[in-house]
């Protein structure tokens, strides 16, 4: 158990809908990262938050957004969903802004039908 909790584990939704994925980092970790894992794109970095502020952006679509709350949990919002958004979404956390070690959650499997 990495200590990173993601909910829900599975999500099935229709095209055009909006969903919210939730992540609770390890106790004390200030950084949260979101990754998307799909068969064709592999593991892609989406966005990083550090202590409530956006730190870095990767290949995140404009339809997607995220935030980190004062209690350090984070949410990834995916809107106007398309079939191609079906993927495994991972959250990871690390103690500081430096990537000395990132701990991954079990992921949320999103299926868009």
Binding residues vs another protein (CB under 8 A): 2, 4, 33, 35, 42-43, 45, 48, 56, 58, 90, 92, 97-107
8 Å CB contact between 95 and 4? no
8 Å CB contact between 48 and 54? yes
Phi (first) and psi of residue 85, to 5 degrees: -80, -10
Taking the complex as a whole, the smallest distance from the CB of residue 55 to another protein amounts, in Å, to 8
- Comparing CB distances to another protein, the nearer of 15 and 59 is 59
Using the CB atoms, write b or e for 59-70: b if 16+ within 10 Å. ebeeebebebee
- Comparing CB distances to another protein, the nearer of 14 and 100 is 100
- Comparing CB distances to another protein, the nearer of 34 and 72 is 34
Contacts of 68 (CB under 8 A, 6+ apart): 32, 49, 50, 51, 52, 53, 74
Taking the complex as a whole, the smallest distance from the CB of residue 16 to another protein amounts, in Å, to 28
Taking the complex as a whole, the smallest distance from the CB of residue 43 to another protein amounts, in Å, to 4
- Comparing CB distances to another protein, the nearer of 60 and 75 is 60
């Amino acid at each position: 158990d990495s200590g990173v909790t993601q909910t829900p584990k599975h999500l099935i939704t229709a095209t055009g809908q909006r969903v919210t994925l939730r992540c609770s980092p390890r106790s004390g970790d200030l950084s949260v990262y979101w990754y998307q894992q799909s068969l064709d794109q592999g593991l892609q970095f989406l966005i990083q938050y550090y202590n409530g502020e956006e730190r870095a952006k990767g290949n995140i679509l404009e339809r997607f957004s995220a935030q980190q709350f004062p209690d350090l949990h984070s949410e990834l919002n995916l809107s106007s969903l398309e079939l191609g958004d079906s993927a495994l979404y991972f959250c990871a956390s690390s103690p500081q802004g430096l990537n000395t070690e990132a701990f991954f959650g079990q992921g949320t499997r999103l299926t868009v039908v």
